Every structure is written in structure tokens, then in C-alpha cells.
Amino acid sequence: MSAERRIAVVPAYNEERNIARVVGELRDFDPALDVVVVSDGSLDGTVAAAEAAGARVLQLPFNLGIGGAVQTGFKYAWEHGYDLVVRCDGDGQHIPAELPKVIAPVEAGEADIAVGSRFTGDESYRSSASRRVGIRLLAWIVSAIAHQRVTDTTSGFQAMNRRALRLFAIDYPHDYPEVEGMVMTIKHQLTLTEVPVKMREREHGSSSITTLRSIYYMAKVLTALFVGLFRRNIVPAEET
Amino acid sequence: MILAEGTPLKVSLAATAASLVLVLVVFELIRSRRLRERYALLWLLTGIVLVVLSAWRGGLNTIAGWLGVRGYPPAVLFAVGLMFVILVLLHYSTVISRLSDQNTILAQRLALLEAKLNESREGRS
């Protein structure tokens, strides 16, 4: 299995203070793991910091939002023939040392995509009450649509094989893609599994989620989920 | 008093039907991926508010009373509809501005890349 090529896709927007550590930790975790950082129109030193840390950098000319940025990395991985892709946020929230847990089910062929969940483990995750309600609501809806229990629908800490990568390289939700991405995976007959992982609180800078944004986020995601129920799949299964 | 100066039933029925059509059209546009959720939310809100105001006759009359609209409560429907149209147009103006900024950046990047490509080609030959 050593011929298998792996890549980490790391979206980053103005993360000059976090990105070097993230890239460094990823490379320490597995020197054979390629790292591609997608700078989503960053205006600070993110690109230089990522390059100095040894990552390949895709530089978007303006901010596309997390979905567009991550998909750029997925397209890169798809076109360069990688067999396994992990997605890991550039803000340092995701801990590369936790990667084996996320990679294991995909590598064993048990799932096409594995998502690291903050909530299935013993480690409690601090967040505000309204955010917890939103997270629960989304988990409940997605679980109902997917006919399987999911707990963390907003986690960007994921590993996937080429089958799932193909889907996302062609079609990936915009703005905040994780929730819809989960439903898409299920609707395209791909298998998804959740694994408990630990996550860190942000060290530098602030999360991009404000109150107004979270209202927009919920409205948009709920609309997308509802309309998605009436939508046929547009990405046909790969002929092999 | 409300009935005498209230909304005519036909107006309510027609307005409800028209707003429902709006909601359904927006829904179908999202479903068929011709309209992104991001740009559909304001339209959906418009449609839903208009459906509620059209179908809920008592509510429309009450709101007309608050606003001092005497004689013809459905005027409130026009006002609310117009307000949303202005909001949607304003929103689209910001979207177009952003798109044209991004278009400029893309064209500039393309020109720079082309120059870089030519330079490296000349350097090689």
C-alpha cells in the first residue's frame, strides 16, 4: 500500500499565524503526505508562510468562500491522481495527530469518506447555547435524510478516497459546504462514517462566524437541504 | 367596519395565487440549479411574506390600520412588494459590483500569467 499517494488539502484565509504550524504538523505526522494549501484570497502572509513551511500553495485571486477554496484543492488532488485526500482546516483547529483515526476507515475500505466528529468522543467541546441548538438541529435533519446517525455535520476534518473525491471535484456546495456535502455523499450512494476526534480551540484570530452570518448560514443550509430532497443527482456513478 | 373597508375576497385569492406561483418558481429554479441558494433567499422571503399577507386577510387589514392606509388595505401588498423588489435590486447591485471587481482581477491575473508563460518559453528556446 506504499504506492498509495496521499494529500492534505488545507484551506486558509488570512492564517499567517497558524498556517506554518498546521503544515509543519501535517508533515511531521507523515513526511510522505503532500500538503496543498489553498489561500482563499488571503491578504496577509499566508502564502509565503505556507510555502516556507514546505506546502504547495494554490493562490486564489479573490475570496471564494470555504466551499470554493476546498474544491480547488480537491480538483488539484483529482487531476494529480491522488488516492487518498484529507481535508484539514488552516486555522489550527484540526489536530494532524488525530489523522490516523480519520484515515483508518477509508484506508480499510469501510467508508468512502470519514468525518472527524467533535461530539461522539468523551472530549466536550465548548460553544454557545444557540450554536449548540443549531448543531443539534442540523445533526438531526441530516441523520433523518441519511438514515444513519451523524453528530457533527459541520466538521471539515475529513478523509476520502478517489470515489468521493471525484464527486466533490465535480460538484461541491458553495459557502459552507460540510452539511450539504454529507447529504450529497449519501445521495450518491457513497458510504460515510463518523469517527470521534479531538479538536483545538483557535489560537490566533477569530472564527468567521458572526450572528448575522449564522442566521444566513442556517437559512441557506436549511433551504439547500430541503430543496435537495427534490433534486436528482447530477454526478453519475463512475463507470469502471 | 373591517369587512366594509376590508380586502375584497377576489383580490386576496388572486394575490395569494400569484405569490404562491412566485414561491414555486423560485423553488424550481433552485432545484434545477439555475438559481443558487445564496441569491434565492431574498426571493423566498419575498414570496413567503407576500403569501402570508395575501392569505391572512385579517392581518392585512390590521397592518393597513397601523400604517394609516384607509379605504384600500391591498395597497399594503403593493408597498410591501415594492419594498422587497427594491431590496432585491439593491442586493443585485452589490452582487454585480463584486462580480465586476472579480472580473477585473481575473483579467489582470490572466494577462500576468500569459506574460509569465511567454517569458519562460522565450527563456527556454
Using DSSP, state whether A118 is helix, strand or coil: coil
What letter does residue A94 receive in the DSSP assignment? B
Collapse the DSSP code of B62 into the 3-class scheme (helix H, G, I; strand E, B; otherwise coil) and give the result.
Answer: helix
Q: What is the pLDDT of residues A192-218, one digit of tens each?
A: 999 999 988 765 555 656 788 888 889
A interface with B, Cβ–Cβ below 8 Å: 61-62, 174-175, 216, 219-220, 223-224, 227, 230-231, 234
Q: What pLDDT score does A213 carry?
A: 82
Per-residue cell: A220: 441557506
CATH level 3 topology of A6-228: Spore Coat Polysaccharide Biosynthesis Protein SpsA; Chain A (3.90.550)
Residue of B99, B118, B82 lying closest to B39 (CA atoms): B99
Strand order in the sheet with A158-161: A56-59, A34-39, A6-12, A84-87, A158-161, A113-117, A192-196
Q: What are phi and psi of A10, to 5 degrees?
A: -125, 100
Residue with cell 489550527: A92
Q: Does A142 have pLDDT greater than 60?
A: yes
Q: H-helix or E-strand containing A39?
A: strand A34-39
Q: Mean pLDDT over all residues of chain B? A: 91
Please give, rounded to a whole number of angstroms, the shortest distance from the CA of B63 to a CA of chain A.
26
Residue identified by cell 387589514 is B61
Taking residue B57's Cβ as centre, other Cβ atoms within 10 Å add up to: 20
- Written as nine digits, the cell of A225 is 437541504
Cβ-based neighbours of A192, under 8 Å, separated by 6 or more: A111, A112, A113, A114, A115, A146, A148, A150, A182, A185, A186
| CB < 8 Å to A66, chain B | none
Query: Measured between CA atoms, how close is A1 to chain B, in angstroms?
Result: 38
Hey, where are the domains in chain A?
A: 6-228
Which residues are bridge partners to A57 per DSSP? A37
CA proximity to B63, closest of B46, B82, B79, B84: B79
Contact A61 B109 (CB under 8 A): yes
Cα distance between residue A51 and residue A223, in whole Å? 39
DSSP, res A70: H
SS3 A240: coil
Q: What does residue A195 show for φ and ψ, rounded to 5 degrees?
A: -130, 140
Encode pLDDT of B28-73 as tens digits. Answer: 999 998 999 989 999 999 999 999 999 999 999 999 999 998 888 8
How many Å from the N-terminal Cα to the C-terminal Cα in chain A?
21
At residue A231 the predicted structure's pLDDT band, cuts being 50, 70 and 90, is: confident
pLDDT single digits (tens) A14-56 = 999 999 999 999 999 999 999 999 999 999 999 999 999 999 9
Kind of pairing, strands A56-59 and A113-117?
unpaired
Residue type, B96: I
pLDDT at A107 over 70: yes
| Interchain CB distance below 8 Å, B38 and A230 | no
Alpha carbons B122 and A164: distance in angstroms, whole number? 41
**The predicted structure's pLDDT at residue B16:** 95
* Complex-level ipTM: 0.79
